[in-house]
Each structure stands twice: as C-alpha cells, then as structure tokens.
Amino acid sequence: MHKLEQIADDIRKSFDARTATRDQALALARQLTRACSLAIRAVHRSARQEMEKHLDEARILADQLRGDLAKYPDLFYAGYTQDALKEFVEANVTCALIQNQPLQTPGELGVEPSTYLNGLAEVVGELRRRTLDILRSGYSQEAERLLGYMDEIYSVLVTIDYPDAITNGLRRQTDLARGIIEKTRGDVTFSLRGEDLSQAIRKLSGQLNGGTNGEDESQGGSIHLNEDE
C-alpha cells in the first residue's frame, strides 16, 4: 500500500502541472483573441501602425501558447486553444487582404490545416464589413477587389469535402460564407447600378443645360438683328 500512496502522489503532481498549464493556456487564449480583435479593428480604421503592433503581440502570444502546450497535445487541440488560433488566422489574413498583401500559409502562421481553413472562412465576414464601409461613399473598384477575394475563398472552401471530424465543422462555416458573399454581391451590384444611374443623370443634365444655353444664345442673336434693322 505504501507503493499505492506514492503512485497517487505522483498522479496528483501530474494533475497539478496539467491544471496549471491549462489555466495559463486559457489566459493566453483570451489575450490572443483580444489582440486579434484589436488588429482587425485597427485595419478597418486604416490605422496601420496600431494594426502591426497588435499583430506582433498576437504572434508572440500564439508562439507562447504553442510552446506551453507542446507537452500536452490534448490541451493544444482543445476547443479554446484552436478557437484562439483560428482568430489568429482571421486577423492575419484579413489584414493582409485588405492591404493587398501576400496571403500567409498555415506553416507561416504555425496552425493546423483545419484551423487555418476555419479562420479563412471567417475572413469573409470581415471583408464584407470592409466592403460595406467602402460602398457608403459610393461604388469603388476596391469593393470589387474585396468581393473577388471573397469568391476565391469560397471557391476553395467548397472543394474541401471531408468529414467534420477532420475539418472541425468547416462545412457549416462554408455555408455561412456563401450567404455572406451573395448578400455582398447584391450590395455591390446595387451600388454599381446607382453609380451608373447617377452618371446618366449628370450626362443628361449637362446635355439639357447645353441645349438651353444654345437656345438662349440663338434668341439673343435674333433680338440683336431685329434691333439693327
């Protein structure tokens, strides 16, 4: 029985270490999520320096999270850890695409393929937000560019036809992305038609004003001739 007590003591020490690591991971995950959220907020406000600061902070936190959980793969693949890393993907990809910079790979971000794809799916929502901000000032080619990125993301996601156990629920995220893209396409099309209508009205108004001026000049000339007579 003395041996059993030793075994139990060793198990308690193991559990203490695991619990401490888990608590630390939870704290890091929350900090990582917050840093990613602030980076996305900054890029929407075109605050580049602030965005880079938060992305750098997020990368440090992600590296620390991976390092701390290297000995505990079950904790690393736990929902809260992968959710935080998914936010890390979303922040980096969103900032890159809005600034028209190269897309980072899963290896460069240090994340699992399924985590990367789920983060990529959520980028669609942020690109819609950016597109709507642009359209508030009128139609722009920039809105078309972002819509093109959204289409590209969806065209890739829809080809990842694997069980949810492998992709971690990617199919549902893909369906949500499709709905977001269709709404955005409608918004861009409506804005484009409105811009075309505005241009047509301006053109017609210019023609009418020009015709009116011409008539005035003609009438003025006729009066002058009558006076000479």
Q: Rounded mean pLDDT of the chain?
A: 86
pLDDT single digits (tens) 153-191: 999 999 999 999 899 999 999 999 999 999 998 888 877
pLDDT single digits (tens) 25-57: 999 999 999 999 999 999 999 999 999 999 999
Using left for φ > 0, alpha for ψ between -120 and 50, and beta otherwise, residue 78 falls in beta
Domains, the chain: 1-101 (1.20.58.2140)
pLDDT for 3 equals: 86
Task: Give DSSP secondary structure letters for 17-28.
Answer: HHHHHHHHHHHH
Say if residue 102 is exposed, middle or buried (CB neighbours under 10 Å; 0-12, 13-18, 19+): exposed
pLDDT for 41 equals: 96
Q: Distance between CA 33 and CA 51 in Å, rounded? A: 14
Instruction: Name the more confident of 221 and 40.
Output: 40
Tokens 């990529």 sit at which residue?
120
Helices (H) then strands (E): counts for the chain = 9, 0
Torsion on CA atoms 158, 163, 164, 169, rounded to nearest 10: 0
pLDDT single digits (tens) 186-206: 888 877 655 544 444 455 455
Mean pLDDT for the stretch of residues 66-72 = 92
The closest of 181, 76, 169 to 128, measured between CA atoms, is 181
pLDDT single digits (tens) 115-133: 999 999 999 999 999 999 9
Residues 6+ apart with CB under 8 A from 213: none
Tokens 């075309």 sit at which residue?
196
pLDDT for 197 equals: 42
pTM: 0.81
Q: Distance between CA 126 and CA 98 in Å, rounded? A: 9
Q: Distance between CA 198 and CA 41 in Å, rounded? A: 32
Q: Is the dihedral of CA 178, 108, 89, 144 positive or negative?
A: negative
b/e burial code for range 50-88 (CB count within 10 A of at least 16 → b): ebeebbebbbebbeebeebbeebeebbebeebbbbbbbb
